[in-house]
Structure 1
Amino acid sequence: MKFKPSLIALSVLAFSASAFAEDKVLNLYSARHYQTDEALYADFTRDTGIKINRIEGKEDELLERIRNEGANSPADVLLTVDAARLAKAHELGLFSPVRSKVLEARIPAHLRTEDWFSFSTRARVIVYNKDSVTPDSVRNYEDLARPALKGKVCSRSGSHPYNLSLGAAMIAHQGEAKAEEWARGLVANFARSPKGGDTDQIKAVAAGECQVALTNTYYVARLMRSTKPDEVKLMEKVGVVWPNQATTGTHINVSGGGVLKHAPHREAGIKFLEYLASDKAQRYFADGNNEWPAVEQVKVVNPALDALGKFKADALPVRNLAMYQVKAQMIYDRTGYR
């Protein structure tokens, strides 16, 4: 995978004056670092004739850059991952409301707000070591806080948006008191201090460093599709559970974007978002990064996703994940989930 230069390096560059004058241009700031997205951009340009000028960077760096650029920002669209980050852009006043019959018809209401839209989803599942844990003992997120799992749970940092969004969902469904009780029990069950990313948690479960962990599905799918002997062997030791199938459904998060407040090419920006909701673009998300399309009627063929099977997803509106983010962080701070 080829990464773009860092934002620090890019800060000395600027879009050319002619780029601002062109009608057939779109200036995209993206925190999605997936090589397969290249096909999305090339396809959009072929279909519309609109050239994409792109800057990639980390989420917080991009948000800060857009805020500092203010009314002079060349950016038309921001793409990023996680509802929390999209909500932060909204709270900073960076997005502009978009009315589009195409987007309103294709993106389900619980996966969009007035100014940003989800274009793919990923689920947060429980992985377990097949030799030491039975799937029936970890059917729900709540099970991770039960004393029977003391010393058996691995996790990445509680401050990471993936875990904050799960905490926000717990608050939305159960209230703050029960969410804090859950977080306290989870921390008490840690096999080690939180560290690493989701792939590290899967590997730790396979190695027996811990027996249970949380991970986003696309990390599981990547390993399932791997042809590397060590990763094939690793996945033979790991089982996957869709949590809370009898209650709220499995927590999902999103990748999405919106048109920015000072976009110099607003119409091109809206056209790009509408393209991302097309059948063709939705399949790119599923095939390229092992995510599910946000558009429900789109059918995809992905061996890993097929192998994971069907599941009941939590239909909690994405705006609610953002609503309880701060409270989730406060709960995690109080319970030592860092």
Structure 2
Amino acid sequence: MTIRTALVATAATLTLAPAAQADVNIYSYRQPELIQPVLDAFTEATDIQTNVAFLDKGMVERLKAEGARSPADIILTTDISRLAEAVAAGVTQPVESDVLATAIPDYLRDSGNHWFGVTTRARIVYASKDRVDPGEVTTYEDLADPKWQGRICTRSGTHSYTLALVAAMIHHHGEEATRDWLKGLKANLARKPQGNDRAQVKAIWSGECDISLGNTYYMGQMLEDEEQKAWAESVNVLFPVFEGAGTHVNISGVAMTKSAPNQDDALKFMEFLASEQAQEVYASVVYEYPVAPGTEPSELVASWGSFTADDVNLMELASLRGAALRLVEEVDFDG
């Protein structure tokens, strides 16, 4: 069966069809082409149609403005900060499901059952194949070592990806040690923080720096792009850990909206995302790691190496985001 996606639009032109015309209405921060395969699989398995609205920003504000009249049943988004924002804004509802509780590890779901992780991405080090021995990078703490002076590139310290890592450092070592770590990391930068994760890999390829921080899925995206493929092939993917813990991860997640008009079908969609079939389809398309027991990453993603995830609950990290931002600003990381 071919799925009918009624709308894929920006927030500026978005108008979802009435709920009666679609069984599950989805607001998504993920690009349409990335979620379409799993939507197709859901409809094939359940005969339930979906209606997708792609928003590049303002999802929580839109849900608050729509209130009880919102047609949205489901939020699909990336990064714990966005999920935490939605919960704090009161636009989600708790979901009781044995399927989700069994399939999604505790640290990748909200203790109040407002959101559930679907896939994970690791915050790793991209390292020059020519100038860095893979054994040189083992911990995040090591990035503050003077041996890396003038050799590190990274994006802004105020970006959500960076703040999540800094929050994890606070969780493991406290604010004072994290402040010192940030100062050391800043002292090792080859240039002022700028650009996205792929821009850092390009800088390694061009010789501006030797290592950078980035999310794993960008390797897959770069390999797909003819121009960026050379950048990707110039680096190794390395999985540092926190001392005494694991590799920092973030998530793609799902939540049910507070006003969901199609709750039963929305729950079926959430539970489908936790199935082995959906996990492997979705994770493969977005170059991320499935989280349900018995699932495996795609062959390409697996080729980058394995790691043990830091299992701190992501809501704990979300609660430390304010402290992380304060420390980043105190050390003038982007200055």
Answer whether TM exceeds 0.5 for this pair: yes
Amino acid at match of 2:51: N
Amino acid at match of 2:218: Y
CA–CA separation in structure 2 for the residues paired with 1:34 and 1:214: 27
Contact 1:137 1:143 in 2 (8 A): no
Q: Which residue of 1 aligns with 2:241?
A: 244
CA–CA separation in structure 2 for the residues paired with 1:36 and 1:253: 18
How far the C-alpha of 1:44 sits from its partner, in A, is: 1.4
CA–CA separation in structure 1 for the residues paired with 2:152 and 2:208: 9
How far the C-alpha of 1:118 sits from its partner, in A, is: 0.2
How far the C-alpha of 1:296 sits from its partner, in A, is: 2.8
Contact 2:289 2:296 in 1 (8 A): no
Contact 2:10 2:53 in 1 (8 A): no
Match for residue 256 of structure 2 among 245, 259, 284: 259
Residues 78-135 of structure 1 deviation map (CA, whole Å, 9 limit, x = unaligned)? 1100111111111111110110011001111111012100000000111122333333
How far the C-alpha of 1:5 sits from its partner, in A, is: 2.9
Q: Is the counterpart of residue 292 in structure 1 residue 296 in structure 2?
A: no
CA–CA separation in structure 2 for the residues paired with 1:134 and 1:257: 38
Q: Which residue of 2 aligns with 1:192?
A: 191
Amino acid at match of 2:167: A
CA-atom RMSD, angstroms?
1.9
Q: Which residue of 2 aligns with 1:57?
A: 55
Gaps of 5+ in 2: 1-6
Match for residue 333 of structure 1 among 321, 329, 335: 329
CA–CA separation in structure 2 for the residues paired with 1:227 and 1:20: 38
Aligned pairs (5 A) from 1:137-286: 137-223=136-222, 225-226=223-224, 228=226, 231-244=228-241, 247-286=244-283
Match for residue 5 of structure 1 among 9, 13, 23: 9
Match for residue 312 of structure 1 among 300, 303, 308: 308
Q: Is the counterpart of residue 45 in structure 1 residue 43 in structure 2?
A: yes
Residues 152-203 of structure 1 deviation map (CA, whole Å, 9 limit, x = unaligned)? 1111112211111111111111111111111121122221121111111111
CA–CA separation in structure 2 for the residues paired with 1:295 and 1:271: 16
Pick which of 156-165 and 79-88 moved more. Answer: 156-165
Q: Which residue of 2 aligns with 1:35?
A: 33
Amino acid at match of 2:29: A
Compute the TM-score of the two structures, normalised by the length of structure 2: 0.91
How far the C-alpha of 1:136 sits from its partner, in A, is: 3.3
Gaps of 5+ in 1: none
CA–CA separation in structure 1 for the residues paired with 2:303 and 2:132: 21
CA–CA separation in structure 2 for the residues paired with 1:227 and 1:31: 22
How far the C-alpha of 1:214 sits from its partner, in A, is: 0.3
CA–CA separation in structure 2 for the residues paired with 1:232 and 1:14: 37
Residues 4-30 of structure 1 deviation map (CA, whole Å, 9 limit, x = unaligned)? 4321122xx342xxx3335x6111100
User: What's the % identity of the aligned pairs?
Assistant: 37
How far the C-alpha of 1:277 sits from its partner, in A, is: 0.4
Q: In the comparison of the two structures, how many residue pairs are matched? A: 326
